[in-house]
A and B are shown apart, each in its own frame.
Chain A
Amino acid sequence: MTAGPSKPPAGGAMLPHSIVLNARQMPSYAYGHRSPIWWGTLGFAAAEGMGFALAIGAYFYLVFINGNWPLSAPAPDLFWSSLFTLVMLASLWPNHMAKRNGGREDLAKSRRDLVIMSVIGLVLLGLRIMELGSLHVRWDQNAYGSILWFLLGLHTLHLVTDIGDTIVLTALMFTRHGHGKRFSDIGDNAFYWYFVVASWAPIYLLVYWFPRWW
Chain B
Amino acid sequence: MTRAITSDDFDAVPEVTRLATGERGGLPGVQSEADAPPNPDELRDDQVDGPELSARLAKTWGTDQGLIGALSTVDHKIIGRRYIVTAIIFLFLGGLSAVAMRLQLAQPESTLIGPDLYNQLFTMHGTTMMFLFGVPIGEAFAVYLVPLMVGTRNIAFPRLNAYSYYVYLFGGLMIWVAFMLNIGPDVGWFAYVPLSGPEFSPGKRADFWAQMITFTEVAGIAVAISVITTVFKLRAPGMTLDRIPLFVWAELVNSFVIVFALPAVVTASAMLILDRLVGTHFFNPAEGGDALLYQHLFWFFGHPEVYIIFLPATGWVSAIVVTFARRQAFGYIPLVLSLIATGFLSFGLWVHHMFTTGLPQLGASFFTASSMLIAIPNGIQIFCWIATLWDGRPVFRAPLLFVIGFFFIFVAGGLSGIMLASVPLDSQVHDTFFVVAHFHYVLIGGNVFPLIAAVYYWFPKFTGRMMSERIGRWHFGLAFIGFNVAFFPMHITGLMGMPRRVYTYLPEMGWGNLNMLSTIGAAIFFASFVLFLYNIVSSARRGPLAGPNPWDAGTLEWAAASPPLPQNFDRIPVVTNREPLWAHRDALPVVAGLSVDNREQIVSTITHGRADLKESTPEPSIWPFIAAVATAILFIGSMFTPWAIVWGSIPLIVALMGWFWPKPSMEDER
List chain A positions with a Cβ less than 8 A from chain B: 1-6, 8-31, 34-37, 39-40, 43-44, 46-48, 50-51, 54-55, 58, 61-62, 65-66, 71, 103-105, 139-147, 149-150, 164, 168, 172, 177, 179-181, 183-185
- Tell me, in angstroms, the Cα distance from A149 to B224 when the chains sit together: 29
Q: When the two chains form their complex, are residues A58 and B19 in contact, meaning their CB atoms are under 8 A apart?
A: no
User: Contact: B326 with A58, CB < 8 Å?
Assistant: no
The verdict on A23 contacting B594 (CB below 8 Å), with A103-B27, A140-B278 known, is yes
Q: Are A20 and B668 in contact (CB under 8 A)?
A: no
**A8-B550, A28-B615, A43-B259 given as contacts; is B274 within 8 A of A150 (CB)?**
yes
List residues of chain A with CB within 8 A of the CB of B44.
24
**In the complex the two chains form, is B229's CB within 8 Å of A28's CB?**
no
- CB closest chain-A residue, reference B558: A12
Contact of B612 (CB < 8 Å), options: A24, A30, A48, A140:
A30
User: With a CB–CB cut-off of 8 A, which chain B residues contact A66?
Assistant: 288
The answer to whether residues A30 and B281 also contact, given A5-B326, A21-B592 and a CB cut-off of 8 A, is: no
Is B574's beta carbon under 8 Å from chain A?
Answer: yes
Q: Find out whether the CB atom of B550 lies under 8 angstroms from the CB atom of A11.
A: yes
Residues of A within 8 A of B24 (CB): 27
Q: Is the CB of B267 within 8 A of A51?
A: yes
Q: Is B657 an interface residue when CB atoms closer than 8 A count as contact? A: yes
Contacts of A36 in B (CB 8 A): 156-157, 229, 232-234, 603, 615
B587–A15 contact, CB under 8 A?
yes
What chain B residues lie within 8 Å of A28 (beta carbons)? Answer: 25, 33-34, 36, 613-616, 668
- Residues of B within 8 Å of A4, CB to CB, are 4-5, 326-328, 554, 579, 582
Residue of B at shortest CB range from A52? B263
Roughly how many angstroms separate A20 CA and B547 CA in the complex, as a whole number? Answer: 26
Please indicate the chain B residues that have their CB under 8 angstroms from the CB of A143 in the complex. 280-282, 284, 287-290
Contact of B259 among A47, A54, A61 (CB under 8 A): A47
Whether B293 is near chain A, meaning CB under 8 Å from some CB there, is: yes
On B, residues with C-beta under 8 Å from A are: 1-2, 4-7, 13, 16, 19-20, 23-27, 30-38, 44, 46, 156-157, 160, 221, 224-226, 228-229, 232-234, 237, 259-260, 262-264, 266-267, 271, 274-275, 278-282, 284, 287-290, 293, 296-297, 300, 326-328, 393, 460, 545-552, 554, 559, 561-562, 570-572, 574, 579, 581-582, 584, 586-594, 602-603, 605, 611-616, 653, 656-657, 660-662, 667-668, 670
Docked CA distance A168–B657 (Å): 7
Whether A23 pairs with B2 at a CB distance below 8 angstroms is no
Q: Which residues of A contact B26 (CB under 8 A)?
A: 27, 30-31, 105
The answer to whether B613 touches A40 (Cβ under 8 A) is: no
Given the complex of chains A and B, what is the CA–CA distance between A164 and B570 in angstroms? 39
CA–CA, A172 to B24, complex, Å? 25
CA A19 to CA B552, docked complex, whole Å: 23
Does the CB pair A181–B670 fall under 8 Å? yes
Q: Which residue of A lies closest to B225 (CB)?
A: A43
State the CA gap A26–B37 with chains docked (Å). 9
**What are the residues of chain A within 8 A of B278 when measuring CB–CB?**
139-140
For B289, what are the chain A residues with a Cβ–Cβ distance below 8 Å? Answer: 62, 143, 146
| 9 nearest CB pairs, A to B | A11-B547, A27-B25, A143-B288, A140-B279, A43-B225, A24-B593, A146-B280, A8-B552, A23-B593
Report the Cα distance A67→B586, complex, angstroms.
73
Would A15 and B259 be within 8 Å (CB), given that A1-B6, A21-B574, A143-B284 are in contact? no
| Structural contact, A103 and B668, CB atoms closer than 8 A | no
Contact in complex: B263, A48 (CB < 8 Å): yes
> For the complex, what is the distance from the CA of A43 to the CA of B222, rounded to whole Å?
9
Would you give 21 A-B contacts (Cβ < 8 Å), ordered by A? A1-B6, A1-B7, A3-B4, A9-B547, A11-B562, A13-B547, A23-B594, A26-B593, A27-B24, A27-B26, A28-B33, A28-B34, A31-B26, A35-B603, A36-B229, A47-B260, A61-B290, A62-B289, A66-B288, A143-B287, A177-B662
Return chain B residues, CB-CB under 8 Å to A39.
Answer: 156, 228-229, 232-233
Q: Which residue of chain B lies nearest to A37 when distances are taken between CB atoms in the complex?
A: B670
Shortest A165–chain B CB gap in Å is 8
Closest to B649 in A: A160
Q: List chain B residues, Cβ under 8 A from A19.
A: 46, 571, 589-592
A25 to B46, CA, bound (A): 12
Contacts of B660 in A (CB 8 A): 168
Q: Which residues of B contact A5 (CB under 8 A)?
A: 326, 552, 554, 582
- Inter-chain CA distance A143–B285, complex, in Å, is 9
- Cβ–Cβ < 8 Å partners of A43 in chain B: 224-225, 228-229, 259
Query: Provided the pairs A4-B328, A8-B551, A104-B27 are in contact, do residues A21 and B16 lie with their beta carbons within 8 angstroms?
Result: yes
Bound Cα distance from A4 to B611, whole angstroms: 28
On chain A, the residues within 8 Å of B13 by CB distance are 20
A19 CB to closest chain B CB, in angstroms?
Answer: 5
Contact B259 A40 (CB under 8 A): no
In the bound complex, do residue A177 and residue B290 qualify as a contact, i.e. CB atoms below 8 Å apart?
no
A46 to B46, CA, bound (A): 40
**Could you say which residues of chain A place their CB within 8 Å of the CB of B656?**
164
Residues of B within 8 A of A147 (CB): 282
What is the minimal beta-carbon distance from B462 to any residue of chain A, in angstroms?
Answer: 14
Known A51-B263, A146-B281; 8 more pairs at CB < 8 Å: A4-B582, A13-B548, A20-B16, A20-B574, A22-B591, A39-B232, A62-B282, A141-B281
Do the beta carbons of B290 and A62 come within 8 Å of each other? yes
Q: Is B34 a contact partner of A30 (Cβ separation < 8 A)?
A: yes
State A28–B263 Cα separation when bound (angstroms).
Answer: 35
Least CB distance, B174 to chain A, in whole angstroms:
22
Nearest CB in chain B: distance from A98 CB, A: 14
Q: Whole-angstrom distance from the CB of B538 to the nearest CB of chain A?
A: 19
Knowing A40-B157, A146-B280 touch, does A29 contact B668 (C-beta < 8 A)? yes
- Report whether A20 and B589 are in contact in the complex, using a CB–CB cutoff of 8 Å: yes
Cα distance, A66 to B293, chains bound together (Å): 12
